[in-house]
Structure 1
């Protein structure tokens, strides 16, 4: 059951990452869909995925450190 919760958490976090990267891609062109390019969106999405992974790793290491103490 714990693994299922982890999978749900990761999927929801990736969904939020997708939405945020889409919004940040559009913010530069003041929400004009015709100016959104796939490369611009992909750069933002990769940037947010990297931030998400680094944050998740740091949080999980912090949680493991607290359990050991």
Structure 2
């Protein structure tokens, strides 16, 4: 569980997009879990996916210019 406001804020900022990405990606493989299941699954996994997605978007944006 997150201890500080900084942890909570980072889990919200990165965790929600991470859960959305996991849900969309795994929905293509016919997983029966709902979005709420992924959101409640593990906040740190969702945050890691969100951070990785943000890094990929930044790198793609940097290389396209």
- Is TM (by shorter chain) over 0.5? no
Whose helix proportion is higher, 1 or 2?
Answer: 1
TM score, norm. by length of structure 1: 0.41
TM score, norm. by length of structure 2: 0.43
- Which has the higher Rg, Structure 1 or Structure 2? 1
